[in-house]
Amino acid sequence: MKQVKIASIGSYVPPKIMTNDDLSKLVDTNDEWITTRTGIKERRISEGENTSDLGAKAAIKALEKASLTPEEIDLIVVATSSPDALSPSTAVYIQSKIGAFNAACFDISAACSGFIYALNVAAQFIKTGQSKKALVVGAEVLSKVTDWTDRNTCVLFGDGAGAAVLMPSEEKGIASIFNGADGRKTEFLTLGCVPVKNPLVKPEKLEDFKISMDGREVFRFASGIILEAIDKVLKDTGYSLDDVKYIVPHQANYRIIEFAAKKLGAANDKFYVNLQNYGNTSAASIPIALDEMVEKGLLQKGDKIILVAFGAGFTWSVALVEWSF
């Protein structure tokens, strides 16, 4: 079996910034509540670009950084909860926009855990030799499925995309990776339901495609699973937390991150946090954070980092990565 590395990272967020004060003009909220309860100060909101547009821009940046042409990519896996269409996949729209016509394409639906799920799937393609150069994209335009009248949710989310090129490697690269789910908790975080509707069945209620969430239940799940997941990759690799330079968590709420740091006995700044600038961008949050860390020079070849995410389903995912560039 081959080993797999992240060869490059790229990201793109739409230029339009929506601040907490802007939101207070839409719903009954204020900067103080949003900042103290979540850590979020502002988020990017699409002014028309769809999920594949953001994903394609992030993908082009990742390809440039890996010095690859789009034709060299043989697989595109997109993690998203806000696809351009139910079918075809957002991956094929991205393929078409970047001209990667030699790539097999499909999407993964694992909510905020999606990027690490997609990394795992693409890594398996590479390990078996099915893929030589894969593009993994996390992209979301959550603003199109946000209920802009619900202050419980509309203050949390933002739009954005990140992409990674995966390649076979002589070094460890993705040293350990796991995905999980608990389907008993589906109702606590959903984005629209598709009831059976045909000449034989008339559903009582046709739901709109909007995010609906029980924030406290998600918070409870996230605070527990983040610790279990980190423990799992540490045990699997035999590394200790001291060996790990950064933990890059899904960017949902600063209080969840603070809680995890305290429980682990780690300094808060061991966790990379940029949710103050982007809010929760679901499947895009981890690759956007990674790209920012690379740009800031925080990651060097050989650094060990943990990526960890949780989200609707409930789902969770975790990876320990030995940085490759």
Give the active site residues.
112, 250, 280
β-strand pairing of 134-140 with 174-181: unpaired
- 222 contacts ligand UT7 (rule: CB under 6 A): yes
Least distance between ligand UT7 and beta carbon 185 (Å): 12
Residue 111: alpha-carbon gap to chain centroid: 8
- 218 contacts ligand UT7 (rule: CB under 6 A): yes
Q: Tokens 């199109």 — which residue?
A: 144
The type of residue at 183 is G
- 224 contacts ligand UT7 (rule: CB under 6 A): no
DSSP assignment, residue 173? B
- 33 contacts ligand UT7 (rule: CB under 6 A): yes
Least distance between ligand UT7 and beta carbon 266 (Å): 20
- 172 contacts ligand UT7 (rule: CB under 6 A): no
Using CB under 6 A as the binding criterion, the count of chain residues that bind ligand UT7 stands at: 20
- Candidates 53-61, 175-183, 212-220, 236-244: pick the segment binding ligand UT7 (CB under 6 A): 212-220
Least distance between ligand UT7 and beta carbon 286 (Å): 11
- Candidates 57-65, 215-223, 239-247, 263-271: pick the segment binding ligand UT7 (CB under 6 A): 215-223
Sheet holding 104-108, edge to edge: 3-12, 160-169, 134-140, 75-79, 104-108
- Asked if 322 contacts 171 with a C-beta cutoff of 8 angstroms, the reply is yes
Q: Which is nearer to ligand UT7, 88 or 180 (CB)?
A: 180
**C-alpha separations of 41 from 36, 187, 216, 252, 280 in Å:** 10, 28, 20, 12, 11
What is the x/- site pattern for ligand UT7, positions 124-163, by CB under 6 A? Answer: ---------------------------xx--x--------
Q: Which is nearer to ligand UT7, 24 or 169 (CB)?
A: 24
Looking at the chain, which runs of residues are DSSP E strands?
3-12, 17-19, 42-44, 75-79, 104-108, 134-140, 160-169, 174-181, 189-191, 211-213, 246-249, 304-311, 315-322
Position of minimal CB gap to ligand UT7: 215
Q: Which is nearer to ligand UT7, 83 or 311 (CB)?
A: 311
Residue among 98, 105, 104, 106 nearest 69 (CA) = 98
What is the x/- site pattern for ligand UT7, positions 232-251, by CB under 6 A? Answer: ------------------x-
- 280 contacts ligand UT7 (rule: CB under 6 A): yes
Least distance between ligand UT7 and beta carbon 150 (Å): 9
In the range 52-111, which residues lie near ligand UT7 by CB under 6 A?
A: none
Residue 184: alpha-carbon gap to chain centroid: 22
- 281 contacts ligand UT7 (rule: CB under 6 A): no
Structure token pair of residue 300: 């060097």
- Asked if 211 contacts 142 with a C-beta cutoff of 8 angstroms, the reply is yes
Sheet holding 174-181, edge to edge: 174-181, 315-322, 304-311, 246-249
Query: Residue 84: exposed, middle, or buried by beta-carbon count in 10 A (0-12, 13-18, 19+)?
Result: buried
- Candidates 34-42, 84-92, 102-110, 289-297: pick the segment binding ligand UT7 (CB under 6 A): 34-42
Residue among 252, 251, 256, 301 nearest 272 (CA) = 251
Q: Which is nearer to ligand UT7, 74 or 147 (CB)?
A: 147
Enumerate binding residues for ligand UT7 (CB under 6 A).
29, 33-34, 37-38, 112, 151-152, 155, 213, 215-216, 218-219, 222, 250, 252-253, 280, 311
